[in-house]
Amino acid sequence: MDDLKYGVRDKRGDWKPSGRLEIAPFWSWPPKLPKVLAWLPGYIWPWNAFHMATALLYWFYIVPDVETMKTISWGWALWLYAVNAAAIFVFYGIFELRYYVQRAQATRFKYNHKFPGDTPSDVFWFQSQNLDNFLRSFFITIPLWTVVEVIFLWCFANGYVPWVGWQDHPVYLAALVLIAPAIHEVHFFFIHRLIHWAPLYRWIHSVHHNSINPSPWSSLSMHPVEGFLYHAVAFWHLVIPSNPIVALFQLHVAGFGAVNGHLGFEKLELTEDTALSSEAYAHYLHHKYFEVNYGGEGLIPLDKWFGTWHDGTKEGDALMDARFRKKRERVNARAASH
Ligand SMILES: [Zn+2]
Ligand SMILES: [Zn+2]
């Protein structure tokens, strides 16, 4: 595919889309129904449909029976960890293999022309972004994902929280599934904004930001505190009356869905003229500029409301520069007054 039909490439070789990032259409006033209807299929397909499919597979084939889950034991906890790790190895690994190892589409649609594997850096374990990110994901973050999973399944199994049945409240549960990605965005925005507070940033979140040019393995490369808080989004289903399948879906939107922001390509070419939209740009800009786009792609446009939205355009750059300048002035004024 010709990526220059969709964007521009600068002198360094970095590509960027020509359009602007748009927040979800139901936030525009007056609401335009055709726009909402045109947006809806992309909301469901393919990413959220995939997360629902994996949640169902887990529920019917992986998760132990309710009797077993009444007592927490190493047996089923380790089994869930093994499946989570294997699933992420395969799912993230496909993107890594095809687009970063085989480089099937070279740098077409790639935001940063460099591949992390080509640039060793001292900030990473063994000076390798790939190895560092991989080890942190599998030995820190995925175990913590599993801890969250075990806790909520144990709560449901013991009846500590309401277990809403699909037969009794199908419409309610379907609605909850539809808004789960919005819950994810709000949860992620606030924990993410919190760990950007300077002391917490240095302690916790700087680990994730070592990858300025993220690739699939960067997705879950986190400090343990972040790894836990990030997946703890599933605990909202212990507060809201819910069902374990919906909680699993919520967990998978976080765990499997983390890859979206870190794919590094705008489109993943599948055939000569079809491509998968990665939905990576907003979070790519976050890795590039740090203090923009704390949330997702504007499903719940918290960044817009808090003034931290970068839509990828020149105007977005100007807004960001003005904000950074103001912040510097504030810091300097404070330093001068002491
Ligand atoms: Zn990230
Ligand atoms: Zn961040």
**226 CA to centre of ligand 1 in angstroms:** 11
> Across residues 132-142, what is the average pLDDT?
97
Percent of the chain surpassing pLDDT 90:
96
Give the separation between CA 248 and CA 163, rounded to whole angstroms.
13
Residue 266 domain-assigned (yes or no): yes
Q: In the beta sheet, which residues pair with residue 41? A: none
Looking at residue 29, its pLDDT comes to 87
Q: Is 244 helix (H, G, I), strand (E, B) or coil?
A: helix
Distance from residue 288's CA to the centre of ligand 2 (Å): 10
Q: Ligand 2 center to residue 163 CA distance, Å?
A: 34
- Kindly give the distance from the C-alpha atom of residue 287 to the centroid of ligand 1, in angstroms, as a whole number: 6
Q: Mean of the pLDDT values across residues 19-44?
A: 94
Instruction: Read off the pLDDT of residues 248-286 as tens digits, 9 standing for 90 and up.
Output: 999 999 999 999 999 999 999 999 899 999 999 999 999
Question: What does the pLDDT look like over 159-171, one tens digit per residue?
Answer: 999 999 999 999 9
Number of H helices, E strands in the chain: 15, 4
Q: Write the CA distances from 249 to 144, 184, 268, 306, integer angstroms.
A: 17, 11, 24, 28
Residue 31, pLDDT > 90, answer no
Distance 230 CA to ligand 2 centre (A): 12
How crowded is the C-beta side of 79, counted as CA atoms within 13 Å? 12
| 280-305 pLDDT tens trace | 999 999 999 999 999 999 999 999 99
E strands within the chain?
7-9, 15-17, 267-269, 275-277
Q: Please report the pLDDT score of residue 102 as a whole number.
A: 97
In a domain, 246, yes or no: yes
Residues 6+ apart with CB under 8 A from 103: 115
Please enumerate in sequence order all residues whose Cβ is within 8 A of that of 317, keeping only pairs 6 or more positions apart, or say none. 310
* Average pLDDT over the chain, rounded to an integer: 96
> Residue 28 pLDDT > 80, yes or no?
yes
Asked if the structure places residue 223 within a domain, the reply is yes
Q: pLDDT value at position 285? A: 97
Confidence tier at 85 by pLDDT (50, 70, 90): very high
Q: How far apart are CA 127 and CA 335, in angstroms?
A: 36
- The pLDDT, as a whole number, for residue 68 is 98
In angstroms, what is the span from residue 174 Cα to ligand 1's centroid? Answer: 29
Q: Is residue 106 part of a domain?
A: yes
- Provide the pLDDT for residue 337: 84
How far apart are the CA of 194 and the centre of ligand 1, in A?
Answer: 15
Task: State the DSSP string of 97-154.
Answer: IIIIIS-TTTTTTBSSSS-GGG---TTSGGG-HHHHHHHHIIIIIHHHHHHHHHHHHH
Centre of ligand 2 to C-alpha 148, Å, is 22
Number of independent structural domains in the chain: 1
In a domain, 312, yes or no: no
Among the bound ligands, the one closest to the CA of 283: 1
Q: Which ligand is nearest to the CA of 293?
A: 2
- pLDDT band at residue 84 using 50, 70 and 90 as cut-offs: very high
- Centre of ligand 1 to C-alpha 231, Å, is 14
Ligand 2 center to 20 CA (angstroms) = 21
Q: Which one-letter DSSP state was computed for residue 293? A: -
User: In this structure, is residue 320 part of a structural domain?
Assistant: no
Residue 22 neighbours by CB under 8 Å, 6+ apart: 298, 311
Task: With respect to residue 112, please indicate whether it lies within any of the assigned structural domains.
Answer: yes
Query: Taking the C-alpha atoms of 234, 240, 242 and 246 in order, what is their torsion angle to the nearest 10 degrees?
Result: -30
- Over range 190-207, report the average pLDDT: 97
Domain range for 195: 48-307
How far, in Å, is the centroid of ligand 1 from the Cα of 68? 36
Three-state DSSP state, 267: strand
Task: Please measure the distance between the N-terminal and C-terminal CA atoms of the chain and give it in whole angstroms.
Answer: 57
Distance 269 CA to ligand 2 centre (A): 28
- pTM of this structure: 0.97
Q: How confident is the model at residue 33 (pLDDT cuts 50, 70, 90)?
A: very high
pLDDT single digits (tens) 95-127? 999 999 999 999 999 999 999 989 899 999 999
Residue 334 lies in a domain: no
pLDDT at 338 > cutoff 90 = no
